[in-house]
Every structure is written in structure tokens, then in C-alpha cells.
């Protein structure tokens, strides 16, 4: 963890990219493209996000590159804005889930005893109901709005982060350098953030990729069911739902937002796979 200085990271990052397998390079390129699309959405789109510009289900044309949806909104425009909304909401949810899960996991490992028992049993209970079903139950109680969605999914997903953080932090917690820090008289916050966290960071980063994928697919799934991100916000899951009827006429329009979801999830998984492979020290 000595090369955490910025130039070092860029240099080792660049050399890692060159030596990465094709699959990981592909993933990195795709994710960069998605990120640029999300950031530059208003400049790339030709119409407004929820603007009705044509009649229902117009075919692909020069004016509407990918046709229009069930309300006559431009598909291409909504796909681009969808990148911003769908990825943005999934990213916020994952970050929230990580903040909750990782801090609770670190606390459980550092304090042990009752803190650990209470947190671990609570997580056991939350994990005993399948995540999608639990999310459906909570959404039926609290209603479907974006803040509710983000909080519900983040809390449910933080249980997975908690389990992992706790497991690896307990290993780090018994090492000599933590003992030394304790004897030096450092407080629990210092031990958590300065001693344990840097040593478990690589595993957590890989887990972040996997959790993001999972959250992203879960939110897309909920939106597809009409229970996630609500109209008129452009979102890939609900776009599939809106245009689904076209598939029986052999029109591939619903596959575009669905494919956009799949491609991003594949790319993240390919990078995480490479990251885990190289972090585990296995050479091929």
C-alpha cells in the first residue's frame, strides 16, 4: 500500500492496462464510454429527456435514429439520458450500501463482543428473506419513489458488504500491526480507518464492482416491473417495459435498453474478474 501516491497510481495503472487481458481491456473501454455518455448526456441528446417529439412507435428514421417509444419520445435521446439516470442511481445506492455495510463491518470486527453479536444477528435476519422479495415488500409499504428505492436497496445490499468486511477485517484485526497500534494507545476510529481499512481495501474495491452490478441489475429489474424508477425519468429498465410489445412484431427496440444494461454489467464483471485474478497472485 506504499504506492498510493497519485503519479504512482497513474503509472502502475497504465502499465496494468497494457498487460491486462483482452476481456478486461474491453470492459475498461466500454465503461469509459458509458461514463462519458452519462456525463455529456444533454450535449449528445437531440431532444429533451421527456419531450414528446413524434407519434407512438415511429420506425427508425433520420429524425428519430432509433424510432420513438409508446408516448412518442425519441428512443435515442432516452437511451442517452438513461445512462445518466440508471447508472447514477445505481452508483449512489452502491456507495450508500458500502458506507453502511463497511462501517458496520469494521465496527463489528474492531469492537467485537456485543456490538458484533447484535450487528451480525441483525444481518442474518435481513438476509433470510430473498432480496427482491424483501424489496417488493418494503416498496409496497413505503411506496415507489427514487429516495425510497435508493434507501431500501442500499440497506438490503449493505448486509452483503457487512458480511465481507467483517470477515476480512477480523483477519486483519488480529495482526501484529493492529496490536502495536493498540499498545501505542490509538483509539478505535484510528485502528479502523488507518490500520485495518488500507489493508482490506483491494478486496473491498473488487466487491464494490460486484455489488454495483448486482444493485444495477436489481434496480433495472424493479424498474422493468414498474416498481423502480418512475416515469417520466428516462431509465433503461422501464424503457424495456414501455417498448416490450414491439418484440412480437420482430422489432428489436426493447433489446436496445436491455442490451445497454447487459453490456455494462458484463464489462464491470470482466474487470472485477481480472482484478480478482491478478490480486490473488495467480499467473494465468
Contacts with other proteins by CB under 8 A lie at 23, 124-125, 128-134, 136-143, 213, 217, 220-221, 224-227, 237, 240, 244, 247-250, 252, 254-255, 258-259, 261-262, 265-266, 268-270, 273, 284
Dist CA 243 CA 73 (whole Å): 11
Nearer to other proteins, 83 or 139 (CB): 139
CB of 97 to other proteins, least distance (A): 18
Nearer to other proteins, 181 or 262 (CB): 262
Nearer to other proteins, 57 or 224 (CB): 224
CB 50 within 8 A of CB 73: yes
Helix 88-111 / helix 197-224 crossing angle, nearest 10 deg: 140
Q: DSSP states of 51-120 as a string?
A: -B-SSTTPPS-SSSTT-B-TTSBBHHHHHHHHIIIIIHHHHHHHHHHHHHHHHHHHHHHHH-HHHHHHHH
CB of 211 to other proteins, least distance (A): 13
Dist CA 8 CA 159 (whole Å): 34
Q: DSSP states of 163-174 as a string?
A: HHHHHHHHHHHT
CB of 272 to other proteins, least distance (A): 9
CB of 42 to other proteins, least distance (A): 26
Nearer to other proteins, 47 or 214 (CB): 214
Pick from 115, 107, 117, 199: nearest CA to 161 = 107
CB of 120 to other proteins, least distance (A): 13
CB of 6 to other proteins, least distance (A): 31
Nearer to other proteins, 169 or 218 (CB): 218
DSSP summary character for residue 245: G
Please state whether the peptide bond connecting residue 211 to the residue before it is cis, i.e. omega within 30 degrees of 0: no
Nearer to other proteins, 6 or 128 (CB): 128
Amino acid at each position: 500500500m506504499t504506492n498510493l501516491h497519485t503519479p504512482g497510481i497513474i503509472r502502475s495503472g497504465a502499465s496494468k492496462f497494457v498487460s491486462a487481458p483482452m476481456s478486461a481491456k474491453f470492459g475498461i473501454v466500454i465503461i469509459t464510454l458509458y461514463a462519458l455518455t452519462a456525463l455529456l448526456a444533454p450535449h449528445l441528446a437531440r431532444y429533451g429527456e421527456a419531450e414528446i417529439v413524434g407519434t407512438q412507435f415511429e420506425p427508425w428514421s433520420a429524425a428519430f435514429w432509433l424510432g420513438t417509444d409508446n408516448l412518442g419520445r425519441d428512443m435515442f435521446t432516452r437511451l442517452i439520458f438513461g445512462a445518466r439516470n440508471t447508472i447514477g442511481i445505481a452508483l449512489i445506492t452502491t456507495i450508500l450500501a458500502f458506507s453502511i455495510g463497511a462501517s458496520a463491518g469494521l465496527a463489528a470486527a474492531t469492537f467485537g463482543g456485543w456490538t458484533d453479536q447484535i450487528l451480525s444477528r441483525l444481518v442474518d435476519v435481513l438476509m433470510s428473506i430473498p432480496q427482491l422479495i424483501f424489496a417488493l415488500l418494503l416498496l409496497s409499504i413505503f411506496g415507489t419513489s427514487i429516495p425510497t428505492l435508493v434507501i431500501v436497496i442500499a440497506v438490503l445490499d449493505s448486509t452483503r458488504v457487512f458480511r465481507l468486511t467483517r470477515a476480512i477485517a477480523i483477519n486483519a484485526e488480529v495482526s501484529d500491526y493492529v496490536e502495536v497500534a493498540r499498545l501505542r494507545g490509538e483509539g478505535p476510529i484510528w485502528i479502523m480507518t488507518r490500520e485495518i481499512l488500507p489493508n482490506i481495501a483491494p478486496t473491498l474495491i473488487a466487491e464494490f464492482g460486484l455489488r454495483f452490478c448486482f444493485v444495477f441489475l436489481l434496480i433495472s429489474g424493479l424498474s422493468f416491473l414498474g416498481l423502480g424508477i418512475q416515469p417520466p425519468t428516462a431509465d433503461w429498465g422501464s424503457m424495456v417495459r414501455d417498448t416490450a410489445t414491439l418484440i412480437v412484431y420482430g422489432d428489436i427496440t426493447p433489446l436496445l435498453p436491455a442490451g445497454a444494461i447487459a453490456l455494462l454489467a458484463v464489462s464491470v464483471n470482466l474487470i472485477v474478474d481480472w482484478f480478482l485474478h491478478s490480486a490473488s497472485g495467480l499467473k494465468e
